[in-house]
Amino acid sequence: MPVTKSVLATLALATTLAACASNPAPRRWLAPAREAQSDPYGAWIVLRGGQKTVLTSGELLAVEDDSVFVLDANGRVAAVARAAVPSATIAFYDGQFGRTAAWAGVGALSSISHGFGLILSGPIWILSGSLAARADSRAPLITVKEPAQWVGARAYARFPGGLPAGLPRVLPVKPRRQP
Amino acid sequence: MTPRRTWLVLGAVVVVMVAGCVHRLQRVTTPPEAAATLDRKSPFLKAHLRDGALLVLSSWSVDDTARVVSGAGTRYDMTRAIVGEGPHALALDSVVLFETNVTRPSESIAMMSILTGVSLGVTAYCAANPKSCFGSCPTFYVTDGSRELLQAEGFSASIAPSLEARDVDVLYRARPTMGREVRVDMVNEAYETHVVRYANLLVAPRPSGHRVLPDVHGAYWTVTPPAAPSRCTASDGDCAALLADFDGRERLSAADSFDLGAREVIDLVFAAPPAEPALFIASRQSLLPTFVLYQGFSWLGTGVGEWMATLERRDGETVRRLEGPARALGGIDVLVANAHGGWDSLATVRETGPLAADARLVPLPSTADGGPLRVRLRLAKGAWRVDAAALVSRVSPATPQRLMPAVVLRDGRPDEAARAKLMDSTAPLTTFPGDRYTLVYRLPGEASAHELFLETKGYYLEWMRQEWIAEENRALAASLFLDPAGALRRLAPAFKREEATIEQAFWRSRYAGH
């Protein structure tokens, strides 16, 4: 039943991925959770202005009372006024939700071996896999939508205690992980 | 296990192992004055210093008294260039903030692990016992007043076009609640193609306190309510209460360990038989005949098509051989004690299919002196689920009226094309797995005052499955059809290995959609 299999696999994959939140960091920039425990760099941040337009993105260096400091992809330190940033998304590790999605996909495909039980186990796999992958995709993300939330965002900066004096305006960017 | 399924299971194991590495990270920052509260489970301690430098320490410890943090690790400057590695000790006062990071397995992993365990269990069971996880025929659901109840399976024995047959099922437990309207859900619940020539309702007025039932010859009778046997004895003891009425409580014995065709007897005594007695018997097959049928398919493997083609050509020898295993298993023979101490055979009740029980009357002779009536049932051990074996009195003949569906609904909307096909026997309705039609019948009077019977005609085609081809063995297939009695003996150990769980697995796998 190639049609059944392909339909099921496509449905599982589409449903699972549709429910997931994409990680805004560049590929191989963030480390998985275990490696992120000893990562000396800050998290990846995307600052959005009105209409959700992206103001800038890069490594979160520090959050001060009136400004957010970001190291952009070219190694330049940028200061953005917090008042100009209605929202921001911070990603502090690679949640690897693709693995959960793959697990759900293989599980949904395996339900073909359940005979008529496929009618129950197929949707259960798709639903559970979607929920699991959705949760794993969102776990590494912190969303800032209120001014008060910037306080909590400091923990994800390279300098959680504030920008040190004498920081050069140009810094080496974080090297990407090897594939 | 087929190579394809093996790869699927191996793939699943690899994915699960890889996905098992998915962790979540919890980060906490702590000021130095609260160093005593640092999470010791964190394998690394990050000490953010006032000059922007960072110490990442493993094997770390905090001496609250000396106000010193120490450990081995790496020191980075504010640009994150490494400026030192090895043991470090520094005063708490030089630290702006501590940072701990603790990982834990993703919560979703637990949920997915449980799901995977259950799923692999079902896969393993179905791989080992494919014949217990599949199989069906058109099923019909009618309300019993509180829920939709499986009340009939249509033309169960018609597994090929040449075996197309009419079937009548008693909807004994139907309790319609919609006045003159009766709704019957017709469902295709298996990997099969169902070709339905018609699905009519036969209705007969039911006098208060009576039932209307068909006998084994096709005649309908108005009868008195079933009376339980005065005595019912079988190998497993007293069965009088169990067989008193058609109520869903069934008697099923274990199959013989050495011969699936081995017979058992159930002896019934009715103390005060009426003038026109009849045995009211309700039964369905167990999964034993289904097991034998699918084992035949399995052994035929890729030869099933050739075999079915021969069947379609109505080759008399093939048809006779096809019936061999069914004959060896037999039906429920009904016998009555004669005056010479022996037993006279009256009829054999056969209702093919393991899903829904059906009922029939077997007219019994009147006893000359009005004394007790002794009836014996003879059947293959473990092959039949007997729901009722009771006595009724035939009051008068009855003639049911045939009703075609007034409306056919699919997904809640009228499907006139489907209805037209059910009305025209030259253009049957074809259904596929998952199809469900609601057939609406309008009765001449209150449905509750009528006895209902479902009359269906058609056939169905099993979809050949990979698991069956894997067991292809023409020699064993030949033995099943050439020497069915011998094959039933050889199959006994295989069936006994599955007997304890086959029913549970079958119903769980097949009725998952309900």
pLDDT digits (tens, 9 = 90+) for B198-231: 999 999 999 999 999 999 999 999 999 999 999 9
CA distances, B113 to each of A125, B12, B105 (Å): 11, 11, 12
User: Residue A103 and residue B23: Cβ atoms within 8 Å?
Assistant: no
Q: What is the mean predicted confidence (pLDDT) over B461-477?
A: 70
Residue B509, pLDDT > 60, answer no
Write down the pLDDT at residue A35.
92
ipTM: 0.85
Quote the minimal CA–CA distance from A53 to chain B in Å.
29
SS3 B491: helix
Write down the pLDDT at residue A18.
60
Write down the pLDDT at residue B113.
75
Q: What is the mean predicted confidence (pLDDT) over B248-259?
A: 92
Residue of A nearest to B24 (CA): A33
Q: Which one is predicted more confidently, B109 or A165?
A: A165
Cβ-based contacts of A41 with chain B (< 8 Å) = 80
User: Residue A103 and residue B509: Cβ atoms within 8 Å?
Assistant: no
Residue written as token pair 């050949």: B464
Residue of A nearest to B57 (CA): A38
Q: What is chain B's mean pLDDT, rounded? A: 85
Q: What is the mean predicted confidence (pLDDT) over B478-506?
A: 84
- The single-letter code of the amino acid at B469 is I
A80 touches chain B (CB under 8 A): no
A3 touches chain B (CB under 8 A): no
The percentage of residues in chain B with a pLDDT greater than 90, rounded to a whole number, is 49
Residue B129, pLDDT > 90, answer no
Write down the pLDDT at residue B282.
95
Cβ proximity of A88 and A57 under 8 Å: no
Write down the pLDDT at residue B3.
47
Q: Could you give the CA distance from residue B137 to residue A121 in angstroms, rounded to a whole number?
A: 21
Residue written as token pair 């068909």: B214
Residue B138, pLDDT > 50, answer yes
Residue B514, pLDDT > 60, answer no
Residue B299, pLDDT > 90, answer no
E-state strands within B327-380: 332-337, 343-349, 358-363, 373-380
A179 touches chain B (CB under 8 A): no
The enclosing H or E element of B122 equals: helix B107-128
pLDDT tier, B71 (very low <50, low <70, confident <90, very high otherwise):
very high
Write down the pLDDT at residue B73.
93
Residue of B nearest to A101 (CA): B19
pLDDT tier, B512 (very low <50, low <70, confident <90, very high otherwise):
very low
**Pick from B23, B48, B123: CB nearest A114:** B123
Cβ-based contacts of A129 with chain B (< 8 Å) = 112
User: Residue B96 and residue A162: Cβ atoms within 8 Å?
Assistant: yes
User: Residue A107 and residue B115: Cβ atoms within 8 Å?
Assistant: yes
**Pick from B11, B22, B115: CB nearest A96:** B22
Tally C-beta pairs within 8 A across A and B.
185
pLDDT digits (tens, 9 = 90+) for B317-376: 666 777 788 888 999 999 999 888 899 999 999 877 888 889 999 999 987 777 899 999
pLDDT digits (tens, 9 = 90+) for B30-63: 998 888 888 888 999 999 999 999 999 998 998 8
Write down the pLDDT at residue B311.
65
- Return the structure tokens found at B420: 């037209």
Q: Could you give the CA distance from residue B402 to residue B406 in angstroms, rounded to a whole number?
A: 12
pLDDT digits (tens, 9 = 90+) for B435-464: 899 999 999 999 989 999 999 999 888 776
Cβ proximity of B385 and B284 under 8 Å: yes
Q: What is the mean predicted confidence (pLDDT) over B235-254?
A: 92
Q: Could you give the CA distance from residue B366 to residue B394 in angstroms, rounded to a whole number?
A: 12
pLDDT tier, A3 (very low <50, low <70, confident <90, very high otherwise):
very low
Quote the minimal CA–CA distance from B34 to chain A in Å.
15
**Residue B456 C-beta-side C-alpha neighbours within 13 Å:** 25
A9 touches chain B (CB under 8 A): no
pLDDT digits (tens, 9 = 90+) for B181-196: 999 999 988 778 899 9
Residue A51, pLDDT > 70, answer yes
Write down the pLDDT at residue B186.
94
pLDDT tier, A121 (very low <50, low <70, confident <90, very high otherwise):
confident
Write down the pLDDT at residue B130.
47
Q: Which of A32-46, B36-50, B127-141, B152-166 has the lowest mean pLDDT?
A: B127-141
pLDDT digits (tens, 9 = 90+) for A55-69: 999 999 999 999 999
User: Residue A117 and residue B115: Cβ atoms within 8 Å?
Assistant: no
User: Residue A97 and residue B22: Cβ atoms within 8 Å?
Assistant: yes
pLDDT tier, B9 (very low <50, low <70, confident <90, very high otherwise):
low
A155 touches chain B (CB under 8 A): yes
Q: Which one is predicted more confidently, B505 or B484?
A: B484
A106 touches chain B (CB under 8 A): yes
Q: Which of B14-18, B74-78, B308-312, B478-482 has the lowest mean pLDDT?
A: B14-18
Q: What is the 3-state secondary structure (H, E, C) of B153-180?
A: ECCCCCCCHHHCEEEEEECCCCCCCECC
| Topology of the domain covering B25-104 | SH3 type barrels. (2.30.30)
Cβ proximity of B336 and B343 under 8 Å: yes
Write down the pLDDT at residue B23.
83
Write down the pLDDT at residue A153.
93
pLDDT tier, B1 (very low <50, low <70, confident <90, very high otherwise):
very low
Q: Which residues of B414-434 are buried (b: 16+ CB within 10 A; e: fewer)?
A: ebeebbebbeeeeebbebebe
Quote the minimal CA–CA distance from B426 to chain A in Å.
30
User: Residue A114 and residue B126: Cβ atoms within 8 Å?
Assistant: yes
- The single-letter code of the amino acid at B22 is V
Parse chain B into domains and list their residue ranges. 25-104, 131-510
Helices B316-329 and B304-312 sit at what angle, rounded to 10 degrees? 110
A81 touches chain B (CB under 8 A): no
**Pick from A93, A160, A165: CB nearest B48:** A160
Residue B20, pLDDT > 60, answer no
Alpha helices of chain A — where are they, by DSSP H? 2-18, 33-36, 97-110, 118-138, 149-153
Write down the pLDDT at residue B131.
46
- Return the structure tokens found at B467: 């698991």
Residue B424, pLDDT > 90, answer no
